[in-house]
Amino acid sequence: MPADESAPFGAQLREYLAHLGIERGLSVHTLAAYRRDLLRYAAFLGSLGRTSFAEVTEADVGAYVEALRAGSDGGSPLSASSTSRAVVAVRGWHRFEALEGRTDHDPAAAVRPPSGAKRLPKAISTDEVDRLLTGASAADGVLGLRDRALVEVLYGTGARISEAVGLAIDDLDLDHAAPSVRLFGKGRKERIVPMGRFAVEALEAYLVRARPVLAQSGRGTPTAFLNQRGNPLSRQSAWAVLQTAAERGGVTAHISPHTLRHSYATHLLAGGADVRVVQELLGHASVTTTQIYTLVTPDTLREVYAAAHPRARG
């Protein structure tokens, strides 16, 4: 069970958390997660009889990782992803203590978090995308125009939901020769993404026939997508738009804000797009992140083998 901060290692933990908050600028929520993980670790070290970092061994850290997965330390068993988060916290704490000179070795340096099974991002088929768009258009009046435009933009550009609702009118270039949208990703990193004809037509219909009506209720905002009060559409409301569109379109697959982004990437790669191009379009800092979309299922492997290998055809 978790220790308290008056137990062994309590003073060091308070100092490390202060370092994370002041020097690293971590949020209150992140600090709370670090505190939970590290209190549990301090309790585990105490159960081994350790009273200082100089006594902690690599085997101790490894045993803690196993305890997290099994719950053998008295706490709840953790998933691979939650265990990885806890291991990152432990490694950071030990590294800090070594840099502060309280120990001449770092027992956590070589300990790696468990790797969870790689899961393919959940994408929907092009037919389901069509039905989702039909469902979005089924809303009454100006909201139907807005919802259709929002879904077209999400699928047509691969934008994150936060990027889509954050769009300003000036970020849209609807020039039919080379239409594009300017998106601001993580860290306000800017990228220009081309748009197809369907997204352009849906945006034009919304901007001309619907947005001015919605804007009458507001105080004036450059944000492209508005709610019924004339204010910027929130992420939560955009989620609701997708859920309602799925219900109206008869899409039974789980639809989340990231579903259309996953589908955008998957369909591009299936159509022959280069993974590095898709990386740029998605705004991924590393191509490794994008490469998860290149993973294929066993069924796909069998289909490709049967169609392509000369000794597979009977």
pLDDT computed for residue 115 by the predictor: 67
Burial classification of residue 24, based on how many CB atoms lie within 10 Å of its CB (0-12 exposed, 13-18 middle, 19 or more buried): exposed
pLDDT computed for residue 6 by the predictor: 47
Q: Is 186 a catalytic residue?
A: yes
> What are the tens digits of pLDDT across the range 13-46?
999 999 999 988 888 888 999 999 999 999 999 9
pLDDT of 117 > 60? The answer is no
Give buried/exposed letters for 238-257 (b at 16+ CB in 10 A, else e). beebbebbbebbebeeebeb
Residue with tokens 């009889």: 49
- Find the Cα–Cα–Cα–Cα dihedral 98, 104, 109, 111, rounded to 10°: -120
For the chain, the distance separating the N- and C-terminal CA atoms, rounded to the nearest angstrom, is 62
pLDDT of 7 > 80? The answer is no
Q: Are the C-beta atoms of residues 134 and 249 closer than 8 Å to each other? A: yes
Q: Is 284 a catalytic residue?
A: yes
Mean predicted lDDT score pLDDT of the chain = 89
Residue 119 pLDDT class (50, 70, 90 cuts): low
Prediction pTM value: 0.61
Q: Are the C-beta atoms of residues 145 and 236 closer than 8 Å to each other? A: no
pLDDT computed for residue 300 by the predictor: 61
pLDDT of 271 > 50? The answer is yes
* The most confident of 24-28, 68-72, 85-89, 167-171, by mean pLDDT: 167-171
Active-site entry in 94, 160, 211, 262: 160
pLDDT of 314 > 80? The answer is no
Active-site entry in 102, 112, 186, 197: 186
Question: 133-137: long-range contacts (C-beta < 8 A, 24 or more apart)?
Answer: 133/245, 133/249, 134/248, 134/249, 135/244, 135/245, 135/246, 135/247, 135/248, 135/249, 135/250, 135/251, 136/241, 136/245, 136/248, 136/249
* The most confident of 134-138, 282-286, 305-309, by mean pLDDT: 134-138
Tell me: domain 128-250, CATH 3.30.70.920, correct? no
pLDDT computed for residue 196 by the predictor: 94
Q: Are the C-beta atoms of residues 107 and 94 closer than 8 Å to each other? A: yes
> What are the tens digits of pLDDT across the range 100-110?
888 888 999 99
pLDDT computed for residue 310 by the predictor: 78
Q: Is 258 a catalytic residue?
A: yes
Q: Are the C-beta atoms of residues 93 and 40 closer than 8 Å to each other? A: no
CA–CA gap between residue 294 and residue 26 (Å, rounded): 34
Domain range annotation of the chain? 10-99, 128-250
Mean pLDDT of 188-210: 95
Backbone angles phi and psi of 144, in degrees to 5 = -65, -40
pLDDT computed for residue 301 by the predictor: 64
Residue with tokens 């019924």: 228
Q: Is 94 a catalytic residue?
A: no
Q: Are the C-beta atoms of residues 31 and 20 closer than 8 Å to each other? A: yes
More confident residue, 137 or 289: 137
CA–CA gap between residue 158 and residue 149 (Å, rounded): 14
User: Which one-letter DSSP state was computed for residue 54?
Assistant: G
pLDDT of 296 > 60? The answer is no
| One-letter amino acid of 112 | R
> What are the tens digits of pLDDT across the range 40-74?
999 999 999 999 999 999 999 999 999 998 899 98
Mean pLDDT of 180-191: 90
Active-site entry in 261, 262, 264, 267: 261
Structure tokens at 195: 């748009």
SS3 content of the chain, % helix, strand, coil (to 5): 60, 5, 35
> What are the tens digits of pLDDT across the range 130-145?
999 999 999 889 999 9
Active-site entry in 35, 262, 267, 284: 284
Tell me: domain 10-99, CATH 1.10.150, correct? yes
> What are the tens digits of pLDDT across the range 228-237?
999 999 999 9
More confident residue, 25 or 89: 89
**128-250 matches 10-99 in CATH topology:** no
pLDDT computed for residue 1 by the predictor: 42
